[in-house]
Chain A
Amino acid sequence: MKIVLNGEPIDVDARTLGELCRMQGYGGAKIATAVNGQFVPERARATTRLSKTDHVEIVAPRQGG
């Protein structure tokens, strides 16, 4: 299934956002997620199903002004 992850088109086998985070190597990392512009809290990742063409954002802490 093709989705867009952080602006890059990718092929994924993940069925849920939780699986995607794990399969992409984010397990245990301090991250936040959004799908198609909507915030998805950590507790909802496992039940948030992904569909083709979904736009997923995975972000982490960064320096800021």
Chain B
Amino acid sequence: MLDKPATKPAADEQPQLDLYGRKIRSRLLLGTARYPSPEILRKAITASGAEILTVSLRRESANEKSGQRFWDLVKTLDCHIMPNTAGCRTVKEAVTTAQMAREVFETSWIKLEVIANDDTLQPDLIGLVEAARILNEDGFDVFPYTTEDLGIAEKLAEAGCRVIMPWGSPIGSGKGLNNVFGLQTLRSYFPDFPLIIDAGIGAPSHAAAAMELGYDAILLNTAVAKAGEPVRMAAAFAKAIKAGRTAYESGLMEPRDMASPSTPVAGTPFALK
């Protein structure tokens, strides 16, 4: 009988991610919207192992109370909260929303979105840089939702951002990584900068591919929330992201254009010498 292999807690062995001074073990950041029920949301978060949750602020009548109930649920989960500025179309809207979020959620973290187009939810990159500068100077820890544009990433870094979050593809599209070359370039150019893929991830394989490129983490929402079974999908993403990270750290082989036999050629039977 063979000895059992030693159990290795792979996730615990992976280096922690440092986001604005907070050490994060899970490289899956999870959105909290669009789940079938609060209970499924809670179970999906647990299954994902996520330590960071994104939330938002919205108008609410005094009688509605659903926001209060949601907040009561989130508080029980012992996760870091990353409020967003989703839906903001101008620098002023984004800055004001960030200031309101800082007070309500008692955090300096802000996922900064300045949206340019309703159909693609593409970020307004010019407004994004301006808002990022204002918020960084005001003491926020800014997580900017951007594209893979290298020039904009440089400007965001100059504006004080210490994390960059390029999209994989448009929010909620599930298209995965639309511009792998651009994402690789960004990773190469910012080798020591936390880079998080935010938006467009539709399948665990997309997330694993991003992690294999060397991205530090994945932020996703719809792919879990709108899955047939969100709790199981959350677990699937967690495994894919861990696998992708381990693969990146292990060093992927260089692709070749031609085949290369894996079985030794020397000693092949029936071959003429």
| A contacts, CB < 8 Å to B | 6-7, 24-26, 29-34, 37-39, 41-42, 57-65
Contact = CB atoms under 8 A, between A and B. Distances in A.
Contacts of A33: 100
B53 to A, nearest CB: 9
B103 A41 contact: yes
A63 B100 contact: no
B59 A6 contact: yes
B26 interface: no
23 contacts: A29-B65, A30-B67, A32-B57, A32-B103, A39-B103, A41-B103, A57-B59, A60-B58, A60-B60, A60-B67, A61-B57, A63-B32, A63-B34, A63-B56, A64-B54, A64-B56, A64-B83, A64-B86, A65-B32, A65-B33, A65-B54, A65-B171, A65-B172
A38 to B, nearest CB: 7
Contacts of A32: 57, 99-101, 103-104
Given A62-B57, A62-B70, A64-B56, A31 B33 contact: no
A42 B103 contact: yes
Contact of B67 (A7, A37, A38, A62): A62
